[in-house]
Chains A and B, each alone.
Chain A
Amino acid sequence: MKTADEIYELLKKEFGEAILSLDKETPVEPIISIAPLHTNKIALFLRDNEELKFDSLMCLSGVDDANGEKIKEEDGSETIKGGTLSVYYHLYSIPLKHKITLKASVPRENPEIESVESIWRTADWHEREAYDLIGIKFLNHPDLRRILMPYDWEAGHPLRKDYKNPEFYQGMKVPY
């Protein structure tokens, strides 16, 4: 069983620059921030390292941080420019019984992050969901399609904070 500090040290030793920070100010769980374009390598290390053995990805969530510049439009709605979108990974090790939370932030205008689907197959649908609802693009994902929304939904990604309901979907009025 390892604490967040020890995991952070191990990762820092292995990956150096790609491990950004350890946030311990959170009320419940410490979070390690990692670089988005190294997530697959870090994930493989976390899974296969003898001292860590994170064999189970409990949850993968996409989040719109809404920390960019908020621009008011004429009709009262808001558009967000800049800032970041984030992906949170909650990992658990069944043999060693320890947990860790990882976070990777990507710029809103170019939300590209490496997929961890090849390391934990469960990430497949979670990443599709994050792509569908938040609009994060997972590089090297084998099948990045929408999953919950209709495949031909053109109005964007609904869980973004500045999402606007479309007026029509395939000729049908949406707020019916």
Chain B
Amino acid sequence: MALKTEHMVLNMGPQHPSTHGVLRLELELEGELIKNVIPHIGYLHRCFEKHAEAMTYPQVIPYTDRMDYLASMYNNFGYVVTVEKLLGIEVPERVQYIRVIMGELQRIASHMVALGTYGLDLGAFTPFLYLFRDREKILSLFEMTCGARLLYNYMWVGGLSHDIHPDFIRLTKEFVNYYKPNIKELNDLLTFNKIFIERTANIGVLPLDTAINYGITGPNLRGSGLKFDLRKDDPYSIYDRFDFDIPVGKGLMGTVGDCWDRYYVRVLEMEQSLRIIEQAIDQIPEGNVQSAIPKRIKPPKGTVYGRVENPRGELGYFIISDGSTSPFRVKVRAPSFVNLSVLGELCKGHLVSDVVAILGSIDIVLGEVDR
């Protein structure tokens, strides 16, 4: 008589240190091996999209802050670019440059959290502290500009809430010069650390065709080897003026598209963001940052889909206007939401401890997954 066997179901989360928020994973196990992963999301759901329908267009901006709370600047950016597209207005040069500088600083700050907590998940505590120390400097730059460290409400439709502080340019230059050598320090501490490589190389390999079919974007897609970045491939704002490279995963430590590749793409992206900031700071023109803000925002009837390259991937806003002062429908295509959907595919056949490594390498923010 054959022994009766069945798979074991194990719950990981909703309260679990390495799920980066309230995410519940239902793991189906055969011994230590993962047979299936079912993510259960929605624990942070507050129906942003319903709120937005009751607000006027500028009133939606603070809500966008609260979706991806590690990249609030960029959420503002995406929303205002989309509404401006619908309105058909041009914003002043100075505003464009400041937006790009803020956006790229935010990208670095967001990647710092991603890389730091990823190391933390895998047992490397020190890089986390180093990265958070440096992230504080970026947050201080933001605080100096608009008074907030995390949720800014800084970019407005047609302009900005404040002009930059007179010292901002000098301090940003100082930060860029200060931070450049620190990336090498991070590489020495974590990236090329033997234990870290053992935990991440050849783990959670995401083939390129699967990635595209699942709608994966951002560093996760580039980790799989495709040179695709909306800043270059579908340029918005003034990104076409800057000279920067798009890093892609090359499988240096294992296979193309493994956890290490996704991690390393983020490290290289920080360097490129520093390059963009340097160029933007040298070219920034004088001007009034509030001259193009419309008195009353009443877009024409119609629909618009705008997308920007958020630190986590393609952040899309789909807005339907019925010709009144508040949007008829706002749908957010949140990069984390889409990127998380591939988790089950990546985890199959790996060990339980690898789930932590794979989830960390996707870099999700639950505030955005659940909206």
Chain A residues near B (Cβ < 8 Å): 25-29, 31, 55-59, 61-64, 88, 90, 94, 97, 101, 120-122, 124-126, 133, 146-150, 158-159, 163
- Give every chain A residue within 8 A of B226 (Cβ-Cβ): 94
Closest Cβ neighbor of B330 among chain A residues:
A61
- B42 and A59: CB pair below 8 A? no
- B50 and A124: CB pair below 8 A? no
Specify the main secondary structure of chain A where it touches its partner: loop
Q: Is B316 interfacial (CB-CB < 8 Å)? A: yes
**Which residue from A63, A97, A126 sits with its C-beta under 8 Å from B320?**
A63
**Which residue from A31, A55, A124 sits with its C-beta under 8 Å from B341?**
A124
- B42 and A149: CB pair below 8 A? yes
- Give every chain B residue within 8 A of A158 (Cβ-Cβ): 47, 50
- A94 and B302: CB pair below 8 A? no
User: Once bound together, how far apart are the Cα atoms of A63 and B318, in whole Å?
Assistant: 11
Specify the main secondary structure of chain B where it touches its partner: mixed
- B370 and A148: CB pair below 8 A? yes
**CB-defined A-B contacts under 8 Å, sample of 28:** A25-B302, A26-B302, A26-B303, A27-B302, A27-B304, A28-B86, A29-B303, A56-B215, A58-B305, A58-B307, A59-B305, A59-B316, A59-B331, A61-B329, A63-B329, A90-B318, A94-B212, A94-B228, A97-B233, A101-B303, A101-B305, A121-B214, A122-B214, A125-B341, A133-B49, A148-B371, A150-B42, A158-B47
Determine how close the nearest CB of chain B comes to the CB of A123; give it in whole angstroms. Answer: 8
Q: Is B184 interfacial (CB-CB < 8 Å)? A: no
Closest Cβ neighbor of A61 among chain B residues:
B331
Within 8 A of A (CB), among B232-248: 233-234
- B338 and A122: CB pair below 8 A? yes
- B307 and A122: CB pair below 8 A? no
- A58 and B42: CB pair below 8 A? no
Interface string of B79-113 (1 = CB under 8 A from A): 00000011010000000000000000000000000
